[in-house]
């Protein structure tokens, strides 16, 4: 079964994970660009993904800092 996230990204294999979510390879359904997608369980007691995205936006452009495509 294909999993499409946000109507934009087709999920591939899991490439990592930890206490704050899981990371998957994903492909944009229109451009076929390959990206990494981090998913956090919506039932988590202490969500962190929103804070992480805000921090990456502040640090954007720095060496070794990933670029947020969509949140």
Conformation bin of residue 4: beta by default, left when phi > 0, alpha when psi is -120 to 50: beta
C-alpha 16/C-alpha 45 separation (Å) is 21
Whether 8 has a binding-site annotation, put simply, is no
Name 13's Cβ contacts closer than 8 Å, sequence gap at least 6. Answer: 24, 25
Annotated binding site: 38
| Annotated binding-site residue numbers for ATP | 38
């Amino acid at each position: 079964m294909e999993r499409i996230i946000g109507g934009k990204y087709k999920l591939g294999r899991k490439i990592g994970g930890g206490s704050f979510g899981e990371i998957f390879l994903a492909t944009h359904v229109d451009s076929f660009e390959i990206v990494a997608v981090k998913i956090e369980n919506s039932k988590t007691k202490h969500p962190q993904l929103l804070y992480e995205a805000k921090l990456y936006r502040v640090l954007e452009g720095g060496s070794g800092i990933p670029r947020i495509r969509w949140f």
